[in-house]
Amino acid sequence: MTKRTLDAPDTGFSSLGLDPRLLDALTALGYEEPTPIQRTAIPPLRAGRDVLAVAATGTGKTAAFALPLLHNIDPTLPPRMRLAALVLVPTRELAMQVAEAIHRYGKPFGAAVLSIYGGAPMEQQIRSLKRGVDVVIATPGRALDHIRRKTLHLDHVKTVVLDEADEMLDMGFAEDLEAILSALPAERQTALFSATIPARITKIANSHLKNPEVVRIERAAIAPGETAKVRQVAYMVPRAHKMAALARILDVEAPESAIVFCRTRTEVDQLTETLAGRGYRAEALHGGLSQEQRDRVMKRFRAKGSDLLIATDVAARGLDVKHVTHVVNYDVPWESESYVHRIGRTGRAGREGVAITLAEPREHRLLRNIEATTKQKIEIGVVPTVADLRTRQLEQLRDQVAELLNAGELDRYRPMVEQLAEEYDVMDIAAAAIRLAARKVESEGEPDEIPNLITRGGDRDAHTPKPARQGRREFAGKVGGKVAKIYVGAGRKLKIRPGDIVGAIAGEAGLGLGEIGAVTIGDRHSIVEVPEDKADFIIAKLSASTIKGKKVRVRRDQA
């Protein structure tokens, strides 16, 4: 094996030998600069070499193998001759994710991409294969099933990729992988990507890779305590709700000044436009702007002329603004070092900063990687409910009133108050005035609740509950003092989520999220931990209200 190490960083994708159509697609998607694994693995893969790549999940390896393999496709070939690349992955979630990425990159080629995995209709997959596809992304079990049925024809495959190979072996796919690799043409290119290189991976590499080029991306050590002044919290949010979740979190957190990091310039532009439409003074910063434009944006941000800076990593290099109170990762960074570098831009001058990360369920492994590297836990938060939002809006209104009281200059309004005080109680007058001020917010309509997908212990799929003692702990808050357990007569069968119960308790009983403990969701009931001295009050409040519009039985847990 020859070994390739990473030297000076490249200037961009244009020097990696990629087809101009791919470069156009990457530009349209807003990609600015290759990650280390992409810079190092793409050239040998593009040259037709076998590659053994050691890189952690989330380092950008999908593009590292996807971009080179697209060079080999030919959509004009007959259906049985079209399949040029087979990508094997451990899970259905990863199969869908990789297929989506290759589809985006391969649009200029007219690439037909198909993901095949267990649990999906076999007949539909067979019909798609008969029509002809260029790239198949498959889990080993389903791939082997199709091979045995003679519905997946491998005679013309030029490239095979084993993605997360160590994970596939851990899941017991060793024999399936051997059978699939043996069924492929002897003259082919093979790429193996793995986070670790145990003996079993070495055995596969020695058997099925020909003089591979070894690509190893090491993680830099991070000094202990480097992120100590930053409160770190992650929210598990479905992709479709990320924009709404970010806006809700910003509404509740009310940052003095924040930087929101995105992976691509396209995402930056879309997010900036959306947040500006919600009344935030948001500015975009990415590589598509001229230096003069960047300078103007930064000047306004430093002068507090904007609240939010929406930026890519590349554009924000060297950025140092001491008044930043919050850093938001709109996507989980691919590299732990990038995460630490991002969140280091808050918590300056001895103040505590806040680092917020929006993670999709499939990205929980990236969070674990970050925790392992930084040796710090990332709190898993619950996206604020509508009740939390309304409470926060009233708190902000209270603060505004207090500010006016401290400033004085209220003489012109005193005669009106004195006149009303002749007929009404002064406290009622003040409450009516605040209600009137709050009507503007209330008139905007009731926003939708945002789903919380809270995974614990590295669950592979947040939507698939794992059996536990009649349920699964899906929210793990902490309760100080003596704890009581409350039984709620609704669970997964009624589509109850932890956020629904937490939101109901917070809204109806006025508890903060920090006062609510573990929530365990069963099929037909749920158990929630609350402070013992507030348990009866909470039961009374929940019994008199509804959860997700449903009247449910609430009592102390008798287990």
Same domain, 373 and 432: no
Same domain, 270 and 414: no
pLDDT the model gives residue 127: 93
Write out the residue range of the structural domain in which residue 422 sits: 395-442
pLDDT the model gives residue 458: 35
pLDDT the model gives residue 6: 43
Same domain, 343 and 490: no
pLDDT the model gives residue 470: 40
Same domain, 489 and 363: no
Q: Is residue 222 part of a domain?
A: no
Q: Is residue 23 part of a domain?
A: yes
Domain edge (last residue) among 337, 362, 385? 385
Region class of 496: left (phi > 0), else alpha (psi between -120 and 50), else beta: beta
pLDDT the model gives residue 180: 95
Length of the chain measured in residues: 559
Q: Is residue 461 part of a domain?
A: no
Q: Is residue 246 part of a domain?
A: yes
At 157 the three-state DSSP class reads coil
pLDDT the model gives residue 308: 92
Does the pLDDT value for residue 349 go beyond 60? no
pLDDT digits (tens, 9 = 90+) for 428-463: 888 887 777 776 555 555 566 776 655 433 333 333
DSSP letter at 363? G
Q: Is residue 258 part of a domain?
A: yes
Does the pLDDT value for residue 464 go beyond 80? no
Highest mean pLDDT among 78-92, 206-220, 275-289, 391-405 belongs to 78-92
pLDDT the model gives residue 328: 94
- The DSSP bridge partners found for residue 276 are none
Same domain, 208 and 327: no
pLDDT digits (tens, 9 = 90+) for 501-512: 887 887 677 776
Same domain, 28 and 118: yes
pLDDT digits (tens, 9 = 90+) for 407-421: 777 888 888 888 888
Burial environment of residue 107 by CB neighbours within 10 A (0 to 12, 13 to 18, 19 or more)? middle
Domain edge (last residue) among 216, 244, 275? 216
Same domain, 365 and 399: no
d(CA 382, CA 260): 19
Same domain, 183 and 40: yes
pLDDT the model gives residue 223: 53
Q: What is the mean pLDDT of residues 201-216?
A: 92
For every residue of 4-57, DSSP letters joined together read E---SPPS-GGGTT--HHHHHHHHHHT--S--HHHHHHHHHHHTT--EEEE--T
Same domain, 157 and 268: no
Does the pLDDT value for residue 138 go beyond 90? yes
Please provide the average confidence, as pLDDT, over all residues in the chain. Answer: 82
What separation in angstroms does the CA of 50 have from each of 191, 210, 451, 464?
Answer: 6, 6, 43, 36
Q: Is residue 139 part of a domain?
A: yes
pLDDT digits (tens, 9 = 90+) for 245-265: 998 899 888 888 899 999 888
Domain edge (last residue) among 216, 243, 258? 216
Q: Is residue 58 part of a domain?
A: yes
Does the pLDDT value for residue 522 go beyond 70? yes
Q: Is residue 459 part of a domain?
A: no
Q: Please, which pLDDT band fits residue 61 given cuts at 50, 70 and 90?
A: confident
Structural domain count, the chain = 4
CATH number reported for the structural domain that contains residue 175 in this entry = 3.40.50.300
Same domain, 344 and 248: yes
Same domain, 435 and 319: no
Among 95-109, 285-299, 319-333, 344-358, name the one with the lowest average pLDDT: 344-358
Same domain, 262 and 364: yes
CATH number reported for the structural domain that contains residue 502 in this entry = 3.30.70.330
